[in-house]
Amino acid sequence: MLTLLRDGVPRSRAELVEATGHARSTIAQRIDLLLESGLLVHGGAASSTGGRPPEVFAFAPASRTILAVDAGAAHLHVAVTDLDGSILAERQEEAAIGDGPDVILARVATLGHELLGEVGRPCGELVGVGVGVPGPVEHDTGRPRNPPIMPGWDGADIPGLLGERFRVPVLVDNDVNLMAAGEHWARYRDIDDLVFVKVATGIGAGIISEGRIHRGAQGAAGDLGHIAVPGGADVLCTCGNTGCLEALASRRAVRAAWLAAGRSAEEAADIHALIRSDDPLALELSNRAGRDIGAVLAGTVSLLNPSVVVIGGSMAMDNPVLIEAIATAIRTRSLALATRDLRIETTGTGARAAVLGAARMIADHVLSDEAIETLLP
């Protein structure tokens, strides 16, 4: 019943009886419990063709809060949201994931408590903490497993360390999975099959299949950055292999090529400005990276047949040259049937994609049939 009401449409008792198939007495009992918990509110009266109009009930997402965390390779983004993903307060700052779990998670805890205080919502209203990290995660335990760009994090007990600070469930997933979930929730709820590609310090993909995140047997699905580029240069990757997409087309790889061409590190810090000014080297490196990314994505598109491919991450922001090169390579190398109706778009949620996905992960968990009883009186 609550799952139905999460769409934001108020419904009467009769409509809920019809939609769920439960007895009217059961629906009445559940409505009373949800009203008492604050998860449901009176939504006024529905229109009536005669007689007294029926009372309707609506989901109350503001009744609880979620702490959503995006711990990237070089940044930390922490937000407090309601149960529908509306951001109430947020903080973004530079942070090196290589500093290790003790340092990073202590900072997450500090920022989380500060933000909860800022919005005047005590920890008692917090229902969960969702965390995204830039590496494979064992979904059942929330522990990173052999993450290539997260030294010191292998097997780290993120749920345990943050659970001690907040005393609520803590769920962890790969950051690109959460970006896919956040983009899907915010913009593509009517789409069942979507691939979100993050192009930044690392390169990865989040896969939405039949409306759900596809994680794979070991949580490594979507590790696009460690697929070999067809005909790519023999460059050593952080994973130990050579010729991987991440070694050739990530922000780190583009920066290395920039410096190797004799250009300055100061310029490399704002390569997007150079693209806008039509700098020849900036255009060439973006084109080359886009071609490599598109060549790998072409196989993904032919294999998964998504309706939408969304490109995000810091390197893709305000970079039409990269996006166009990716799109051209996909359409050139993929099966015609797979690309006939394919949409290739830039992210609409921007830097917030991962925290929105983390919020959705927690909301889906705590409002599920299995967990909802913990929020009821």
Confidence grade of residue 46 (pLDDT, cut at 50, 70, 90): low
State the CATH class of domain 2-59.
Answer: mainly alpha
Give the DSSP H/E element, type plus range, for residue 33.
helix 24-37
Asked if residue 148 lies in contact with residue 226, where contact means CB atoms within 8 angstroms, the answer is yes
Confidence grade of residue 64 (pLDDT, cut at 50, 70, 90): very high
Task: Specify the CATH architecture of the domain 63-175+354-375.
Answer: 2-Layer Sandwich (3.30)
Task: Determine the 3-state secondary structure of 76 from DSSP.
Answer: strand
What is the DSSP code string of 83-141?
TT--EEEEEEEE--GGG-HHHHHHHHHHHHHHHHHHTT--GGGEEEEEEEESS-EETTT
The dihedral of CA 65, 67, 70, 74: what is its sign? positive
pLDDT at site 370:
87
pTM (2 d.p.) = 0.90
Nearest to 314 by CA among 94, 78, 108, 106: 94
* Sequence ranges of the domains in the chain: 2-59, 63-175+354-375, 180-348
The whole-number average pLDDT for the span 214-228 is: 89
Two domains, one topology: 2-59 and 180-348: no
pLDDT tens for 93-107 read 999 999 999 999 999
Rounded CA gap, 34 and 346, in Å? 39
Report whether CATH 3.50.50.60 matches the domain 180-348.
no
pLDDT tens for 148-187 read 889 999 999 999 999 999 999 999 999 999 999 999 999 9
